[in-house]
Amino acid sequence: MRRFFTSCLFLSLAAFAQAQIVGHIPPARSLTNLPDTVTIFIMGDVMMHADQITNARKSDGTYSFQTYFEAMEGLIKESDLAIANMEFTLAGKPYTGYPCFSAPDGFEEYVASCGVDVFLTANNHILDKGRRGLERTLERYSKMEKAGVVKYTGTALSSEDDKGRFPLYIRVKGIKVALVNFTYGTNQEIESPLPKVHVTDKTEIGKAIRKAREAGAEFVVALPHWGIEYILNHSKAQGDLAKWLVASGCDAVVGAHPHVVQDSETLDGVPVVYSLGNAVSNMSAINTRIGMAVRLRIASDRSGERRMLSPEYILTWCTRPGTLTDSYAVIPVREFIGKRDLWKNPSDYDEMIASYHRVKEKTGIVD
């Protein structure tokens, strides 16, 4: 959804043919759109490592991220609500990558321009540049929000501001959805309670879920930053918290943080997606280049009753400079199977296919 309205893109044969030209990435086909169905598209970790900063910098000192989500825009924009985990700060220059992220100004605007409506900001890197970095990040997001471009949740500049962000309410096609975003912790701490970063506090989270129900939210989606990094299956702690979230009234649970895709399951009819992995990053460790987007679907029947359908999964691959394009590009794997000839470096295609099958086998994900 763009500016919180539905936007659907249709690819003509001529446009598809043009996309095959070297330097252009074929956009993804649409997923199943059912009548009277609200779709919520959620992406994994959007990151900005040092090599990404270097690659994005142009000769005039500006930055370009054009290819990052070029192949994903159709899927993002055709959804009624699109959400991304923004795992970096906008603390200003000097721009830095891991371990303390400060992405170039304008990266957030690019992500929003691709169709993302909500930024998730509760993650372990949000305090990488301390209080000043957090404040500057949220000030930039707040300006975008005032302009009607995007909303954010998981953090807040003040107690009053936090009242409208935890939970964050979004009305989509007449359905009131509540988002509850929190993190297990942060890599650095600040002594003052504000700006607020929501952590895994069951008292606060339970209160937010009850508040959402009392405010008339029909669907509550928990978005935890949790789990053990680089492990393809969820931990006992994740499983226990997921059970508690479901018992507390959540209608879906979609997690992030491990930098790899993890398994998913259904608890008492509620979909639980333990980890979406990375969307875009410069990570190269095994399984970190395969990510996942999930599409939650809320259907209405003739009587007006609404229910959550089974989620749809899209496994993605983050190509690096010199492999498919001259920059980074996130692509839906299934759309590129059999298109090895598009690669500048075909060995990267082979690595994608091997990683795709390995992750699916170990997690049980069916895309």
Q: Which residue has the higher pLDDT, 305 or 157?
A: 157
Question: If you average pLDDT over residues 157-169, what whole number do you get?
Answer: 97
Residues 321-340 have pLDDT tens digits of 999 999 999 999 999 999 99
Query: Does a structural domain hold residue 188?
Result: yes
Query: Does a structural domain hold residue 29?
Result: no
Q: Which bin fits 198, alpha (ψ -120 to 50), beta or left (φ > 0)?
A: beta
Range of the domain at 235: 36-363
Query: Does a structural domain hold residue 180?
Result: yes
Q: What is the pLDDT of residue 15?
A: 37
Query: Does a structural domain hold residue 92?
Result: yes
Query: Does a structural domain hold residue 162?
Result: yes
Question: If you average pLDDT over residues 195-202, what whole number do you get?
Answer: 97
Query: Does a structural domain hold residue 314?
Result: yes
Q: What is the pLDDT of residue 337?
A: 98
Query: Does a structural domain hold residue 13?
Result: no
End-to-end distance of the chain based on CA atoms, in angstroms?
A: 22
We report the CATH number of the domain holding residue 205 as: 3.60.21.10
Q: List % helix, strand, coil for the chain (3-state, nearest 5).
A: 25, 25, 45
Cα–Cα distance for residue pair 246/67, rounded to 1 Å: 38
Question: If you average pLDDT over residues 279-308, what whole number do you get?
Answer: 93
Q: What is the pLDDT of residue 344?
A: 97
Percent of the chain with pLDDT over 70: 90
Q: What is the pLDDT of residue 35?
A: 61
Secondary structure class of 291 (helix, strand, coil): strand
Is the pLDDT at 18 greater than 50, yes or no? Answer: no
Q: Quickly tell me which residue has 């001259």 as its tokens.
A: 326
Is the pLDDT at 13 greater than 60, yes or no? Answer: no
In 3D, which of 69, 53, 64, 67 has the Cα closest to residue 23? 67
Q: What is the pLDDT of residue 300?
A: 86
For strand 81-86 and strand 118-120, is the pairing parallel, antiparallel, or unpaired? parallel
Is the pLDDT at 23 greater than 70, yes or no? Answer: no
Q: Looking at the chain, list the stretches that DSSP marks H as alpha helix, in order from N- to C-terminal side.
A: 13-19, 50-56, 73-78, 107-113, 130-146, 159-162, 202-214, 236-247, 333-336, 346-363
Beta bridge partners of 82: 41
Query: Does a structural domain hold residue 277?
Result: yes
Number of domains present in the structure of the chain: 1
Question: If you average pLDDT over residues 5-33, what whole number do you get?
Answer: 44
Contact 75, 332 (CB under 8 A): yes
Cα–Cα distance for residue pair 308/300, rounded to 1 Å: 9
What confidence tier does 305 reach under pLDDT thresholds 50, 70, 90?
Answer: confident
Residues 180-195 have pLDDT tens digits of 999 999 999 888 899 9
Cα–Cα distance for residue pair 25/208, rounded to 1 Å: 41
DSSP string, 100-168: S-BPPTTHHHHHHHTT--EEE--STTTTTTHHHHHHHHHHHHHHHHHTTS-EEESEESSHHHHTTTSSE
Q: What is the pLDDT of residue 314?
A: 98
Q: What is the pLDDT of residue 31?
A: 62
Q: What is the pLDDT of residue 14?
A: 32
Contact 95, 103 (CB under 8 A): yes
